[in-house]
Amino acid sequence: MTEAATDAPIPPVAPPAARMSGRLTAGKRRRLRLPIAAVLVAGFGTLMLAAVASVLILGLSSAGRNTFALLNDKADLAIDSVVVRVRHQLDPARDQITYLTGLIESGKLDPEDRQSMLDTLQGALAATPQVTGVGFSPLSQVVLRAARVNGEVRESVLDLSASSEMTQAMAEGKDRQGPYWAEPVWSAEGKTTLLTLRMPVRRDDKFIGMMIVAVALGDLSRFLSELYVDEGLSAFVLYDRDHVMAHQALRYKEFNFSEQAGLPLPRIDQVDDPVLASLWRNSRPADSFTITGRNRTNAEVVEIGDDSHLFLLRSLEGYGAQPWTVGINYRLDEVGVEIERLWTTALVGFGILLVSVGAALWIGRAISRQIGRLAAAASSVSALDFKGAPTLPDSRFRELANAADAFNAMVAGLRWFETYVPKGLVLRLIQRDASDKTGGGIGSEERQVTVMFTDIRGFSALAEDLGAAETAALLNSHFSLLSACIEAEGGTVDKFIGDAVMAFWGAPEVQQDHAARALRAAHAIAVAIHGDNVKRCAVGLPAVRVRIGLHSGPVVVGNIGSASRINYTIVGDSVNTAARIEELAAGLQGEAEVIVLAGASTAEESGGCVALTSVGIRNLRGRSERVEVFRLEIEADSMMR
């Protein structure tokens, strides 16, 4: 059977480096790019001269605004650290209560086993030093608890069945989903105010109890008392406008809220901080600190006598029904120190700038020349043109000298790598990785490809009278000829095996016409072999006869190998089938210069790009299933018969 074929014109394939460069830059927005020599020489000098005038004219007038902005940023970072510390103190409670509830709900922890429950609660408490106590209340309200009391961890069983507060908490939690923070409560045992995180426990969608984790507020005050003491800042946390949760003044101050109605928290006027007590009475917005709006931070100024104090306030949500207020305050007269510092800096900077202009011109010229050479050499390397990369000269600048030495050593190593690594494949893998928006890199996957195997007929006899150097020269010339034809059709040379070549189409980039490309490449190889043989015969050398086998099918393609060496290659039954088809050609070649055999799958997917003739359904070595094989009609072949 012969399939009609028309050799349609094949568009030229762009060089790999050009294709890669084009695709990598296609999606980039064009920008104005200036030569570094102009920037370093003219830019440095011009900018420094302009800086002198700007310092003299604008330095003093902007000193106040700059100082406020810098102090604002500093304070913004300070309040950030307070927020982070508060979350660090409280968020572990959420993780712990979720973990313990999950143990019970999954059946891994039996709430009826008191000793196991107490041991688990004690272990959870030991793992979270921020937590003061953890307990579980079943429907009977006989609470199993582990708590820190006077520095010791104690286990206890409390019968709170008669406690109206616990009954109310259980009723409230029954209708809740997930953990939630309750209002602060007073602990008579620990003589401190506790924040409690509660979470309903359910099995088979049935409410069976409540898990409770408690955090003492005293730990927050101890932390705030050590924060920014040397910088004159005072930090605090407000539960609402009237109650204080944490303040550095509360570290050594004791309260007893056991008989007090309402929240067990000190009022804002009970803290030894008259400035904080005046926050809501004598404050006004601080317009100079509008920059803090980016972090949802409000700024207020409080006047106390002749002193002005700045408050930075930020809302903190997620720890109850209403947001808390985290804040810091400091005296505004500290700005004067910063202004004096800026005055001194401006005067000294004026003299330094005069000297720097001249130095910048000289340094700029020296650096720009070396960087320009490095950029030019790097351009050659980016296109994998290692042979064209120039050798960089030494430099008086240590970093540039080190960069030149490292670059020269790198290029020397890459020139050796180029000998062993297929440049075309590397370029295409780089191109594919650059266009891969998933960030997954090059992994193994199944692909439909066409595999090619070539072999020199009678190579042993051909090389019998050749020396080692002559044999190597023959193979190098042969492989160069075949590789050029394969790569011209977008194929990948996988490896050289003795006098054989293995190549494939369809990877790393997807090629819907991989079968047609392989057949065209095989035809081009036949033409090239014929032309080479004409030259060989003209000088009295024997002709080289080649067998080619093609097969299309699924393979696993990707990076395959060991930790010490890895190859981008293909494996699978289709590879073996292509090799067996190439072996089959040995019995069918006759006196033909080149024989190309292809499996039925390749013929079917070729789209009639070349003329193929069926040579029948054949048995292939090592395969139980018979395969129909086609032969490529080659004009050069008929010329040499």
Phi, psi of 608 (to 5 degrees): 70, 30
pLDDT score recorded for residue 596: 96
Domain final position from 335, 350, 372: 335
d(CA 254, CA 252): 7
Task: Give yes or no: residues 193 and 92 share one domain.
Answer: yes
Q: What is the mean pLDDT of residues 204-218?
A: 89
- Same domain, residue pair 207 and 174: yes
- Residue 75, CA distances (Å) to 71, 232, 305, 448 in order: 6, 11, 23, 61
Residue 26 lies in a domain: no
Residue 197 falls inside a structural domain: yes
In a domain, 18, yes or no: no
Please state, in angstroms and rounded to a whole number, the distance separating the CA atoms of residues 372 and 382. 15
3-state helix, strand, coil in the chain (%, to 5): 45, 25, 30
d(CA 404, CA 409): 8
CATH code assigned at 212: 3.30.450.20
Would 403 be classed as within a structural domain?
no
Domain that holds residue 226: 68-77+221-335
Same domain (yes/no): 574, 597 = yes
Any domain includes 54: no
Give the tens place of pLDDT for each residue, 100-148. 999 999 989 999 998 999 999 988 888 888 888 999 999 998 999 988 8
Distance CA 516, CA 506 (A): 11
- Number of structural domains (the chain) is 3
Residue-level pLDDT at 455: 94
Examine the fold and report which residue of 311, 335, 359 is the final residue of a domain before the chain moves on.
335
Binned at pLDDT 50, 70 and 90, residue 639 comes out as very low
HSE, side-chain direction, 13 A CA sphere, residue 509: 20
- Say if residue 133 is in the same domain as residue 257: no
Give the CATH number, domain containing residue 565.
Answer: 3.30.70.1230
Distance, in Å, from the CA atom of 192 to the CA atom of 243, rounded to the nearest integer, reads: 15
Instruction: Give me the pLDDT at residue 405, please.
Output: 86
Residue 629: per-residue pLDDT: 94
Integer Rg of the chain from CA:
40
Do 206 and 259 lie in a common domain?
A: no
User: What distance in Å separates the CA atoms of residue 137 and residue 143, rounded to the nearest whole number?
Assistant: 4
Same domain assignment for residues 148 and 227 = no
Per residue in 331-374, pLDDT (tens digit) is 777 655 665 666 676 677 677 767 777 777 777 777 777 777 77
144 and 210 together in one domain:
yes
- The reported pLDDT for the residue numbered 213 is 93
HEC profile of 384-427: CCCCCCCCCCCCCCHHHHHHHHHHHHHHHHHHHHHHHCCHHHHH
Q: Is 98 in the same domain as 214?
A: yes
Q: 453 pLDDT exceeds 90? A: yes
621 plus 499 within the same structural domain: yes
Which among 218, 246, 277 is the end of a domain?
A: 218
Q: Domain of 280: which CATH number?
A: 3.30.450
Give domain status of residue 61, yes or no: no
pTM: 0.44
Same domain for 244 and 189? no
Q: Say whether both 305 and 177 belong to one domain.
A: no
In a domain, 342, yes or no: no
Tell me whether residue 1 is in a domain. no
pLDDT band at 481 (very low <50, low <70, confident <90, very high): very high
Q: What is the pLDDT of residue 547?
A: 96
If asked whether residues 331 and 267 sit together in one domain, one would say yes
